[in-house]
């Protein structure tokens, strides 16, 4: 699994139209748009090898916790993001992975926004400018 992380002053999004994905999450009043301040925004891609990797979710959570604990941030945004990465997982696995990561973070008392899977959106984010404000990780 891979992610790009941005520490942001603010982030907001609005769903604009259906994507080309075969999986389209239902759009509701709660998830069609949202905003948050002082958050970590994670652009996440699940890879083929993750499907057979024991402990992948624990490893992902460990990496995320290292970042948010250093920055003392309680707000997290999860964005499905397959655009920069090679051997992608199946759509079903990617979708379930994001929901699983969301659940694991909420169990640890984080406020989590997960953008709907399979949709195009517009978003604005104001990224901070310090040494830990932009991080990438490859997690096995």
Cβ neighbour number for residue 42 with a 10 Å cutoff = 26
- Enter the pTM of the model: 0.95
pLDDT at position 84 is 64
Mean pLDDT, rounded, for 120-138? 96
- Three-class SS of residue 7? strand
Domain segments of the chain: what residues?
Answer: 2-138
**What is the fold of 2-138?**
3.50.80
The tens digit of pLDDT for each residue in 45-69 reads 999 999 999 999 999 999 999 999 9
């Amino acid at each position: 699994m891979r992610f790009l992380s941005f520490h942001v002053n603010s982030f907001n999004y609005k769903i604009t139209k259906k994507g080309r994905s075969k999986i389209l999450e239902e759009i509701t009043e709660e998830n069609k748009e949202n905003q948050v301040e002082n958050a970590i925004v994670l652009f996440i891609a699940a890879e083929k090898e993750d499907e057979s990797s024991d402990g992948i979710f624990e490893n992902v959570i460990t990496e995320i916790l290292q970042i948010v604990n250093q920055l003392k941030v309680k707000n997290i945004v999860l964005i499905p993001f397959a655009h920069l990465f090679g051997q992608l997982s199946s759509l079903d696995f990617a979708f379930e992975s994001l929901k699983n990561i969301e659940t694991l973070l909420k169990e640890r008392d984080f406020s989590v926004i997960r953008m709907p899977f399979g949709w195009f959106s517009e978003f604005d984010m104001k990224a901070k400018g310090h040494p830990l404000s932009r991080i990438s990780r490859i997690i096995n």
